Amino acid sequence: MNSWDDAAPRGRPAGFSGDWRGSKPSFDDPMSWALPVLRVAGISVRVHLFFLAFVLAMIARAASVGGDVSFGLMPTVIGLCALFLVVLLHEFGHCIACRAVGGRADEILLWPLGGLASCAPPERPSAHLWTAVGGPLVNVGFIAVLTPLIGFSSGQWLGLAVPDPFDLGGMVQRADIGGVVWKPLTGSEGGEIAAWVDLSVLLLNYVAWALLLFNLIPMFPLDGGRIMQALLWKRHGYARSMRIACRSGLVGAVILGVFALASDSTTMLAIALFGGVVCFTTARQVELERDYLGFEPDPAELAAMEEDLDPAPPTTRERGSSGGRGSAAAEADAEIDAILEKIAKHGIGSLTAAEREALSRATERRRGSGRDDAGDRT
């Protein structure tokens, strides 16, 4: 899972339920209840206190069950380590992809529902698409190495090398622990160390497959939903693509919630509720922007408008040669510059009716200029 708010004012770090990126722990913001654990390539990793509580609860539950190889303490610890590693590298994949397309990504939060990467890609569909794809590509890398290793070593492909994400216990119980990977590679008879090596490989492969399939569900804000929105953005525009992604996400959240209740999965139910809330609030934010501005804004247009503004003041000669018309254009640019700065600091909802009208006129002028340029090229 990733987290970057497409509808948020540019320049403001994104995060669900408040601005958690770089924030200090605050009682009023549960998303800030996290501890920094490491920093790599300028990317800070924080672990939420609820994630630590989840890990301790799983370990305590496993310790109470006993030492069975499928559900005992050691297999649980190995499984949690595999989950931590895959989720962490998955989020690093989003951050690296975001930076590769010219965006900003500098923090990762690990919490019980997965990972959240604070990414701010450039406001164009291709940049958002690659940022969303970066995470699943990490899972594909794990699978490309581990699945053939398990399949060729054991001769068991379906159910083992390609696991059933809904039957983890059955997969472990059916596997010849200590002889799946270790024995074919070394020719040894296995043993306790071989059993733990086999179990680690199997669980790492299982987690990579399960998270890949889950994240590719076309449900916003999962990777699949973001990929779908980025693909639709270029053809249908930002606002409509977000509506489609959010509506698809709401349907997916309902289906996932029903499945979670039927299978008695608390974690899956929490993910369904989280996804449904994010889809609803994002859709409302898109509608509110349209209501405030009187037209449907596209972040790419706002970014391009700001880039077109020249911050350097004109020279005396330029002012003299441009005359009144140039002065009027400079004043209009300055007005739009002030409006964009206000949006960045206080959000679109802070604009007055006159400011919304000015921004709407500037956007229409830019769209008209783009059409004229396209006509000239043809």
What is the rounded CA–CA span in Å between residue 105 and residue 93? Answer: 11
Predicted pLDDT of residue 378: 47
User: Of 133-147, 163-177, 180-194, which has the strongest mean pLDDT?
Assistant: 133-147
Alpha carbon distance 291, 299 (integer Å):
16
Residue among 238, 245, 240, 243 nearest 218 (CA): 245
Residue 377 binned pLDDT confidence (cut-offs 50, 70, 90): very low
Name which residue leads in pLDDT, 90 or 236. Answer: 90
Quote the pLDDT of residue 92: 96
Q: Give the pLDDT of residue 358.
A: 77
Domain boundaries, the chain: 30-216, 238-295, 298-377
List CB contacts of 129: < 8 A, sequence separation 6 or more: 227, 230, 231
The H-or-E segment that residue 110 falls in is strand 104-111
Predicted confidence (pLDDT) per residue in 151-163, tens digit: 888 888 888 899 9
For residue 309, the one-letter residue type is L
Average pLDDT, the chain: 77
Q: pLDDT band at residue 230, thresholds of 50, 70 and 90?
A: very high
Q: Which of 277, 293, 1, 288 is nearest to 119 (CA)?
A: 1
Of 8-12, 29-33, 180-184, 300-304, which gets the smallest average pLDDT? 8-12
One-letter amino acid for residue 39 of the chain? R
Q: How far apart are CA 152 and CA 343, in angstroms?
A: 57
At 322 the pLDDT is 47
Q: What local confidence, expressed as pLDDT, does residue 227 receive?
A: 94
Predicted pLDDT of residue 268: 84
Q: Residue 360: phi, psi to the nearest 5?
A: -65, -45
Buried b (16+ CB within 10 A) or exposed e, 241-275: bbbbbbebbbebbeebbeebeeeeeeebbebbebb
Lowest mean pLDDT among 33-47, 125-139, 181-195, 344-358: 181-195
Give the tokens for residue 146. 């581990």
Confidence class for position 299, pLDDT limits 50, 70, 90: confident
Per-residue pLDDT band for 71 (boundaries 50, 70, 90) equals low
Instruction: Determine the average pLDDT of the residues in 112-119.
Output: 86
Return the bridge partners of 114, or none: 111
- CA-wise closest residue to 343 among 299, 304, 308: 299
Angle between helices 238-263 and 266-293 (to 10 degrees): 160
Q: How far apart are CA 56 and CA 335, in angstroms?
A: 55
pLDDT-based confidence at 192, cuts 50/70/90?
low
What would the two tokens of residue 286 be?
Answer: 């898109």
Using CA atoms, how far residue 162 sits from 223, 317, 368, in Å, is 21, 71, 53
Q: Which of 213, 229, 289, 281 is nearest to 250 (CA)?
A: 281
List the single range of 58-62, 90-94, 241-245, 374-378 with lowest mean pLDDT: 374-378
**Contact present, 336 and 344 (Cβ < 8 Å):** no
pLDDT band at 5 (very low <50, low <70, confident <90, very high): very low
Angle at 253 between CA 249 and CA 254, to 5 degrees: 120
pLDDT of 210 higher than 60: yes
Instruction: Specify the range with the lowest mean pLDDT, choosing from 133-147, 189-203, 213-227, 230-244.
Output: 189-203
Q: Which two tokens stand for residue 149?
A: 């290793």
Enumerate residues 6+ apart whose C-beta is below 8 A from 239. Answer: 286, 289, 290, 296, 297, 298
The span from the CA of 112 to the CA of 274, in Å, is: 12
Average pLDDT of 238-255?
A: 90
pLDDT at site 10: 39
Paired residues of 263 in beta bridges:
none
Tell me the pLDDT band of 239, cut-offs 50, 70 and 90.
Answer: confident
- Percent over 70 (pLDDT), the chain: 67
State the CB neighbour count (10 A cutoff) for residue 171. 19
User: Does pTM surpass 0.75?
Assistant: no
Question: Which DSSP letter does residue 315 get?
Answer: P
